[in-house]
Each structure stands twice: as C-alpha cells, then as structure tokens.
Amino acid sequence: MRSRGWFAGLLVAALAAALCFLTLPVLAIFVDTAPRDLVSSLGDEGTLEALGLSLKCTVVAVALIVVVGTPAAYGLATRSFRGRAALITLVELPLVLPPAVAGIGLLAALGPRGVLGGLVEDAGLQLVLSTAGVIVALTFVAAPFYLRQAQASFEALDRTWLDASRTLGASEARTFLRIAIPSAGPGLAAGLALAWGRALGEFGATLMFAGSFRGITQTAPLAIYERFSTDFTGALALSAVLVAVSAALLLSVKLLSGSAWLGGAAR
Amino acid sequence: MRRAAALVAAALLAGGCGGEDASGGSGGKPRLVVSAAASLKQAFTAYGRSFPSADARFSFAGSDELAAQIERGVRPDVFAAANTKLPEELFEAGLVGRPTVFAGNRLVLAVPADGGEVRSLRDLRSPGTALAIGARAVPVGAYTRTVLERLPQAERAAILANVRSEEPDVAGIVGKLSQGAVDAGFVYVSDVRGAGGRLKAIELPAALQPDVAYGAAVVKGARHPAQARAFIEGLLSGDGRRALAAAGFEPPPPR
C-alpha cells in the first residue's frame, strides 16, 4: 500500500507537470493580450491575406493528398508484396523529417538547380517562390499523416465485406468506391484533419522552398514570424486563430475516430 | 507520502530545467551568449574561436528578431546588430548598455557567379527578373528600401514588382540566390565574400549607397558583463577587428 501510494503520487506529479508545460504556452497566447487588441489586429489587411492564403494552399494540398493518397493507402492495405514494409517506411519518412531538411530536399529535387529542376521548367511550371511551391511543400510534409491513417483504416476493415462485394460481382474499383471508402470514412476523415493541421502549421519547408511574400507565399505561420519583431500583438492574434483552427481540427479527429474526448475512460 | 513524492518530482524537474550552471562552458571558461545579426556569422564564428576569456556561443538571426527576443525578456550577454537603430532603441528602453559602433559594410547587388540575366541595377527593371530582398523590419531590408527610395519612382516601382521573396535575414537571400531561385538580391558585400565564390557583387553607385553601420551592446542583466565588454572591445581592435576585416567588413564609419 505504501509503495502504491508513492507511485500514484509520482504519476499525479508527472501528469501535472506535463499538463502545465504543454498548456501554458497555448494559454499565454490568449492571456498576453487583451481580446479587443487581438480582434482589432485581425482586421489588418495583411493578416487576412495570410489567413486566406493559408486556407487556399492547405485546401488544395489536402485535396491532392486525398485524391492520390486514398487509392495509394488502399493498395498498401490490401496488397502484400516484396518490400512492402520498406515502401511504407519510405512513404512515412517525411513524418519525422525536420522541416528544414524537407525544404532542402525539395530544393535539391525540384529547385531550379535540382535533380528534376529542368523537367519542372520544361513543363512550364514555376514552383520556387510561387504559390504552387507552397502547395508542394505542404503536400510533402502533410501527406504521410493521411497515408498512415488511411492505410490503418483500410486494414481495419472486415475483409469479408470486401470479399462479399467481389463475390456478388462488383469490380474491385466499385468495391473500393462503394464499400471500402464509406466503411473507412471516419478514419479517412480523421487522417484528413491530421494532414490539414500539419499543413496549416508548416513553416520551415515553405520558407526555404517557396520564400515569403505577402499574398503569394506568406502563409499564416510565415506572417507570424515576420510580425514577431514589429507587431507582437498581430503575431499573437494570428497565432490565436491558428490555435483555434488547430484545436477544431484535433477535436474533429477525436470525434471522427470515435474516442471520447472529455471524461472518457481509458479503453 | 504523496506530497513528498510530488515534491521530489518537482525538484527533479526543476533540476532538469536549471541544470546548466552559470559557468557551463568548456574548460572552466564562462559561456558568453552572443545574439548577432545573420550577416556577422562568419566573422563572429572566427573571432569566437580565438576569444580568450570566454567560450562564446552564438545565436544568429535577423537583428530585428533578436531585438524582439530581448524585448520579450531573453537575456544574452551581447547583442550585435546590422544597424545602430535597434541597439539604440534597446538602450533607450534600458535593456542594453550604451551601444558601440564596431563595423561598417556596403550594400551590393548580388548575382550568381556563373553569370545570368542581371549585370547592373538597371537590369532589375526588366519584367521576369526575380529578386529577393530582406523583409522591411530586418536591417538589410531597410537599407535596401533606402536605396530604392533614392531611385526615380517609376524605376523603383518596376524593381519592386520583381521582388519575389522578402526574407527574414541575409542567410535567406543568399540561400535563394545560390539555389538559383532568384536572379539577384540585395545583400552586404561581406555576404558575397562569405558565399565562397558562388556569388558576384555588383557595386551600387555611391549616391545610392546607404550608411551601413553595425552596433553592439552589453545586455542589461548579462551573466558575464566583463567578458561581454571584452568581446565588444575586441571588435574595435584585436582579433575581432581582424576577423571582421577578413570577412569583408569595413571599419566603423566616422560619426
């Protein structure tokens, strides 16, 4: 009993320390400035421009990720082949890459002097320092979040449903569209929200690959960094918006994946 | 018992956070923390190696970001900026000691060394030319705007229309240039020298050249004020002065 009391105390202390450490910076964003100042600096044209650009770029990136990532994840989940584990690891690698490494990698691959730079140019595409480049950077860093979640959701499906659909004469494409996607829907949506959250917060790869220019490549995180030195209140206001949006995305992940987010017991 | 465990855990955490003691440098030398403009990177890194009385550690970034950190309570020992305005402002706010002007520099137009479209300031006006400059708040961006403001309005507008990125510090401009993402950028002559042959400098006409002066100050509340002062003095004569000259900096402009 004595030792159990001691350990329980340690758990409570560790949990309290973790909670304080992790929530304090987020709360401070809202405490440091009067709500009125936060709202008024949101009316600033540049702030709205940055938020609008972030919205536009993340929506396009997430759409690309879902359109290509869903069949890719289905393939990974339903096929077994040599090197599958290695392939999955490669696809997931950007998940743990430092953003600066992602930025350098994108430049080395798709930059004007990159491996495929000539091809990109011949195709008439302008990626570096352009909005398209922001979308490329966001897609690169966020895609693994969706792929991973989508693959897990497809793997969790009851194979007998898919087999039944095939036995009843549906093609595999039809089975994928009509059975697999709807059944895995909540998991896919959770993956989408995770990828969206990551794309929304992207900073390093965007700055290195796409640069920073108002209305073209300066997304909300880049605008926060620019404002840090001249307009701390404006930086806080933008941060507050990103906290709210990110929290909403996280909440939707929790709700979609069916876990109770408040007062739930461990399962 | 529980309370005791919580106290132990709290003490462990506190120990973990404050584990770095005041003289945590190597070989018993105190650790001197220097916040310096990104353009000073090579000169200060070289100077830091030979600085005798402390183990100098550097934080390089845009001078404006470093000043904003000091305003928010970050306390390095030395603050060295690519202008005199930021240290003066911090001095007036009581956050740093009286600034010392320790170096000058020249703004130039940098282009890739292997040629390219841009051969003169005039070429910056051609449509399709891509240009990277510093953001408004960082000194290199402010100097660049001073240069552009000395040009006729139409010329200035044509050049600004070609700006493709406003970088947070000179390192970003040099990076965009050496990756071929832009055709030209306004940086300091010392950055071109530091780029090791990858970049070529196009001098600006004397009438356009802004006065680029670097200021440094001991931060109020510095842990090692004596070493901080020695570090700044060394920039005016001695190893620091030599490292700055080797990196392409000029002597401080006469005031």
The total domain count for chain A is 1
> How far apart are alpha carbons B160 and B154 in whole angstroms?
10
Confidence of residue A171 (pLDDT cuts 50, 70, 90): confident
Whether the per-residue pLDDT at A265 is higher than 50: the answer is no
Q: What is the pLDDT of residue B4?
A: 46
Q: What is the pLDDT of residue B35?
A: 95
The answer to whether the beta carbons of residues B110 and B199 sit under 8 Å apart is yes
Q: Is B9 on the interface with A (CB under 8 A)?
A: yes
Global pTM reads 0.80
Q: Is residue A41 part of a domain?
A: no
DSSP E strands in chain A: the ranges are none
Domain of residue A211: give its range. 58-218
Chain A residues near any Cβ of chain B (below 8 Å): 2, 5-10, 12-14, 16-17, 107, 111-113, 117, 128-129, 207-208, 211-214, 216-218, 225-226, 228-230, 232
Per-residue pLDDT tens for A34-56?
778 778 877 788 888 999 999 99
Q: What is the pLDDT of residue B13?
A: 40
Both tokens of residue A241? 């918006």
Q: What is the pLDDT of residue B179?
A: 87
Q: Is residue A103 part of a domain?
A: yes
Report strand pairing: B107-112 vs B100-105.
Answer: unpaired
Per-residue pLDDT tens for B79-103?
999 999 999 999 999 999 999 999 9
Q: Which among A2, A222, A226 is the top mutation candidate for probing chain B, defined by the most B β-carbons within 10 Å of its own β-carbon?
A: A226
How many Cβ pairs within 8 Å bridge chains A and B? 96
Q: Which residues pair with B214 in a beta bridge?
A: B103
Q: Is residue A29 part of a domain?
A: no
Confidence of residue A204 (pLDDT cuts 50, 70, 90): very high
Whether the per-residue pLDDT at A120 is higher than 60: the answer is yes
For residue A175, the distance in angstroms to the closest alpha carbon of chain B comes to 46
Confidence of residue A259 (pLDDT cuts 50, 70, 90): low
Whether the per-residue pLDDT at A78 is higher than 50: the answer is yes
Q: What is the pLDDT of residue B22?
A: 42
The answer to whether the beta carbons of residues B190 and B174 sit under 8 Å apart is no
Q: Is residue A150 part of a domain?
A: yes
Pick B2's closest partner by Cβ from A9, A208, A218.
A9
Report residues of chain B scoring pLDDT below 50: 1-25
Q: Give the residue from chain A lying closest to B8, CA to CA.
A: A10
Pick A212's closest partner by Cβ from B3, B4, B168.
B168
Q: Is residue A49 part of a domain?
A: no
Domains by residue range for chain B, with CATH: 30-104+213-246 (3.40.190.10), 107-203 (3.40.190.10)
Angle between helices A131-155 and A181-201 (to 10 degrees): 140
Q: Is residue A129 part of a domain?
A: yes
Confidence of residue A264 (pLDDT cuts 50, 70, 90): very low
Q: What is the CATH number of the domain that holds A136?
A: 1.10.3720.10
For residue A44, the distance in angstroms to the closest alpha carbon of chain B comes to 17
Q: What is the pLDDT of residue B189?
A: 94
Q: Is residue A45 part of a domain?
A: no
Q: What is the pLDDT of residue A261?
A: 44
Q: What is the pLDDT of residue A73?
A: 95
Between A1 and B45, the higher pLDDT residue: B45
Whether the per-residue pLDDT at A262 is higher than 60: the answer is no
Confidence of residue A4 (pLDDT cuts 50, 70, 90): low
Confidence of residue A228 (pLDDT cuts 50, 70, 90): confident
Residues 148 through 187 of chain B touching chain A, CB cutoff 8 Å: 163-168, 172, 175-176, 179-182
Residue type (1 letter), A45: E
DSSP E strands in chain B: the ranges are 31-37, 55-61, 78-81, 100-105, 107-112, 131-134, 163-167, 184-188, 199-203, 212-218
Confidence of residue A154 (pLDDT cuts 50, 70, 90): very high
Q: Is residue A176 part of a domain?
A: yes
The SS3 of residue B109 is strand
Average pLDDT, chain A: 88
Q: Which among B79, B114, B162, B179 is the top mutation candidate for probing chain A, defined by the most A β-carbons within 10 Å of its own β-carbon?
A: B179
Q: What is the pLDDT of residue B27?
A: 60
> How far apart are alpha carbons A31 and B3 in whole angstroms?
30
Q: What is the pLDDT of residue B5?
A: 46
Q: What is the pLDDT of residue B41?
A: 93
